[in-house]
Structure 1
């Protein structure tokens, strides 16, 4: 018996070793350092994805990350939803599989001191080209009766716009903290005229963090795609239940001061006015149209295609796209639908 048991025991050890060595790796990218994209790092650190290893790369380059995703160098990618129509027009091998976090006051339009909305025609306004800041500026200008061609666009990020705002070279600029506070403190009379807590902006659904996947990854490794998508929501549930722990983990991972993490994602396990609103699974599934019920902020059930179409319209108005695309070509809600069919549910509010 002993001579037979030893080989069996050894075989068990070897099989266990082989199983560990054969664990599949899912390659994940995030486009920039941002708490809204850090949940899969939480899943990795807290072992919420059994059977898989997560290899996570911070690109600090949204377009470079999309190129890597389309080429199959990464499988999953966290970035803003505004790229969906661009990816469809370019025929990229990627789709948006879920909405993650609406901007909830992070993004602002700031008017320079002494400038009123009616003064803007013919003036310079700053926003980073092909980014949500340009969409926010465009939508707000439209509300004032000002067409994109009525102003001179300057391609600047928030930090780059501070000097020109203070010198009077810019009449308005897209900004977020800490640059908003710097401008308002240094230029009495400067003011924020709109931000993404505005109900009309929220219900567009276009100021959104999203999760993208490579189409071939979904087609050939659907079990892995479902597992990593579920891990995204499991990590959100863990964050909700252990906010201080996870915010500290994010600060370490992103190399941000903890106060800055708290100022973006909040400390109540749901949202922060001036930061982001963290969707739970049920809210995201409703924007996909795979779960009954209405999403928050006036978004209709199944609102993702409408948000993509509106973004497409604005990229055309702003001269960044030429064609109307089929929004459905850039969206795949079937994975969210599979999780719903499997009985997965998650709904949480502020602690």
Structure 2
């Protein structure tokens, strides 16, 4: 999770009255945090790319609260990180991951404090937000240097919250993303990045990924609407590809970010930004789902979506967040992507 600006609060404020589903022409969409990768449905809304349906979009800044609203049917659609998918299965919620949206392309890092030798890291404090990308990345890095999760002191902090403790030498290492990485490296000579999600092995695992979730009952009862929303998300991405400068400004206004910071995440070429995120076009996402022939991008194999969920499950067990090995395939539903493929829908986007 990478929250920058606190915008919206709770599901109660979003939905009001607790109705189970949106009306025929309204779809309740949740965005788990202020993040450009989740915001392409706002592009579709503003550019009237889904004219038959009204998208009621709310930014939560509370990923778990958003997941709870989705599971309860208060949301129909939800953009968040894919690492939550095994938990939806373990908890038996009416939620499925219907598409991978974009992998982290180097935006997420582990920063080591100056003067800290990895051989002396045992027993020291490391910071990462529990149950999200940072927790996973920190765990994988610690494992790579032979340290188990119980051999360090975990502190549950997001990147912005970890800056102060890093500056005061209270943390040995911390999960971070921009602009906090640059701030800490500039202010703490000797601090260094020791792991990031742009590394080849991490990229091809597919586990540091944003995803689009839907409520199962919404899909079952309003499948045509679910398909329209899914298509609109990719149409919004296509609009960004062809009108990048304009769309980056739109996203900045929606997320309340400086427009230049949008570029440092999704880039200005309509496709990706190394050190940011890589925006999967429809064809790439469909290949990862296994519903379209051809290799996936960045070394991610065709049909590997369930494998990525299973690997995430394994890591959550290692990190003590989960106890059970789940059926990873139960957490995904590629049938909507498959339906779009069968209609002839295709999208191959290149950097401008």
What TM-score does the superposition give when structure 2 sets the normalisation length?
Answer: 0.92
Q: Which residue of 2 aligns with 1:77?
A: 78
Q: Which residue of 1 aligns with 2:192?
A: 191
Q: Does 1:178 align with 2:175?
A: no
1:139-183 superposed Cα distances (whole Å, 9 cap, x missing partner): 111111222122111111111211222222211110111111111
Q: CA RMSD in A?
A: 1.1
Q: Any unmatched runs of 5+ in structure 1? A: 1-21
Tell me the distance in 1 between the aligned counterparts of 2:303 and 2:117: 38
Bigger Rg, which one: 1
Tell me the distance in 1 between the aligned counterparts of 2:251 and 2:165: 33
Tell me the distance in 1 between the aligned counterparts of 2:285 and 2:129: 27
Q: Which residue of 1 aligns with 2:249?
A: 248
Q: Shift of residue 263 of structure 1?
A: 1.1
Number of equivalent positions: 330
Partner-residue secondary structure (3-state), 1:102: strand
Tell me the distance in 2 between the aligned counterparts of 1:347 and 1:191: 37
Tell me the distance in 1 between the aligned counterparts of 2:106 and 2:329: 28
Partner-residue secondary structure (3-state), 1:203: helix
Tell me the distance in 1 between the aligned counterparts of 2:161 and 2:61: 17
> Which residues of 2 match residues 156-235 of structure 1 at below 5 A?
156-235=157-236
Q: Shift of residue 39 of structure 1?
A: 0.3
Q: Which residue of 2 aligns with 1:292?
A: 293
Q: Does 1:329 align with 2:336?
A: no
1:275-294 superposed Cα distances (whole Å, 9 cap, x missing partner): 11000000000110001111
Tell me the distance in 1 between the aligned counterparts of 2:69 and 2:341: 29
Q: Which residue of 1 aligns with 2:51?
A: 50
Q: Is the 8 A contact 1:23 1:53 kept in 2?
A: no
1:216-239 superposed Cα distances (whole Å, 9 cap, x missing partner): 010010000001000011111111
Q: Does 1:342 align with 2:343?
A: yes
Tell me the distance in 1 between the aligned counterparts of 2:340 and 2:250: 27
Partner-residue secondary structure (3-state), 2:65: helix
Q: Is the 8 A contact 1:240 1:268 kept in 2?
A: yes
What TM-score does the superposition give when structure 1 sets the normalisation length?
Answer: 0.92
Q: Which residue of 1 aligns with 2:4?
A: none
Q: Is the 8 A contact 1:23 1:51 kept in 2?
A: no
Q: Which residue of 2 aligns with 1:102?
A: 103
Q: Shift of residue 118 of structure 1?
A: 2.1
Tell me the distance in 1 between the aligned counterparts of 2:95 and 2:305: 16
Q: Any unmatched runs of 5+ in structure 2? A: 1-22
Q: Shift of residue 187 of structure 1?
A: 1.1
1:264-303 superposed Cα distances (whole Å, 9 cap, x missing partner): 1110000001111000000000110001111112111111
Q: Which residue of 2 aligns with 1:3?
A: none
